[in-house]
Structure 1
Amino acid sequence: MEDNPVQSSNKWLDDLSKGLGHQLEAITVEGLKIVKALEGFVLCNFVVSNRISDADGNWHVGAMATLIDDVGAAAIYSYGGHIKASIDFNISFFSTAKIQEEVEVEAKGCGGQGKDNISDHRG
């Protein structure tokens, strides 16, 4: 499994969602479910918990950013087992996520140049 970057990145995300890893990340991605993962592409479902909500019951923006960063890192890592890329995050949402609301998080590599950068998305 160590030789397969897609499986390695999935294991890393899955371990985080089960509480293994840094405490902040573990709390932030607790319960994350990987729906689909290919080289350079990760699609996940996530239910917002009260542990990562603000006083008004909205998904805390810091927790949202951490989850998006981790899913994006997994997508980039799946290209070759290391992260050597510039990242451009594009986040779209229609409303504030509340406690117990399910959201979909998708990350994909869009392209790159040079031998150490990502190639075109294949998902």
Structure 2
Amino acid sequence: MEDDDDDVSQKVVKWMEMLKKGLGHELEARIFDGVQMDHVEKGLIRCKSVVPKHLSDKDGNWHVGAMATLIDAIGAAAIFSSAPQVKASVLLDISYFSTAKIQEEVEIEAKVVRHKGRLLAAVVVINKKGSTEMVALGKLWMTSSNVQHPPTTSKINPSKL
């Protein structure tokens, strides 16, 4: 069982490294700039980052759109580590509590908290490093994206209209 967890962790780390290199979208590569993974296990990811200047707003705060993209991607990675199938986001809810300035260090934790049928939920928390001051809290629900198609032959009688 532990070998399976190690394999999943390696796949998640590889996927996140690919995003950092820009093999997904340029936006994700920019968002992951400076993100360092501290811990990856089934259903749990811990990262740290320093807010880069290119992800700030006009006031020098970490841009909320950049945080939202990071919360979505790291939450998806935590879910992928728990159930490695292609997933689709069905709900992303983020609450912002404080700001983080350029060059400020933050800690990010994504944890799978619910698995119900084909739905999985993760909570992503961003705190200022070394403090309990929360910057943002994200809740992400995902589901399997492989749609079950009905059989080609049906036992239902066709309409006679």
TM range (shorter): 0.7 to 0.9
Cα shift at 1:29: 1.3
* Match among 96, 100, 103 for residue 99 of structure 2: 96
Higher relative contact order (CA 8 A, sep 6+): 1
Q: 2:81 aligns with which of 78, 82, 91?
A: 78
Q: Percent identity?
A: 48
| CA-CA distance at 1:54 after TM superposition | 0.7
Tell me how far 1:19 sits from its aligned partner.
3.7
Segments of structure 1 that go 5 or more residues without pairing to the other structure are none
RMSD after superposition: 2.4
Alignment of 1:1-123 (within 5 A): 4-82=7-85, 83=87, 89=93, 93=97, 95-114=98-117, 116-118=118-120
Change (3 A) 1:86 1:38: farther
- 1:92, 1:53 → 2: CA distance? 15
**Alignment check: 8 A CA contact 1:42 1:71 kept:** yes
In the TM superposition, residue 85 of structure 1 has moved relative to its aligned partner by 7.3
Which structure would you say has the larger Rg?
Answer: 2
| Residue-by-residue CA offset, 1:19-74 (whole Å, 9 max, x unaligned) | 44210111011111011111011010011101100111100110010011111000
The one-letter code matched in structure 2 to 1:35 is D
Give the direction of change, closer, same or farther, for the CA distance of 1:43–1:87 in structure 2 (3 Å limit).
farther
Distance 1:24 1:88, change over 3 A: closer
AA at the equivalent of 1:28: I
Q: Report the number of matched residues.
A: 115
Gaps of 5+ in 2: 1-5, 122-161
Q: CA deviation at 1:117?
A: 4.7
Give how far 1:111 is off. Answer: 1.8
TM-score (norm 1): 0.79
Which has more strand, going by share of residues?
2
Shift of 1:7: 1.6
SS state of the match for residue 30, structure 1?
coil
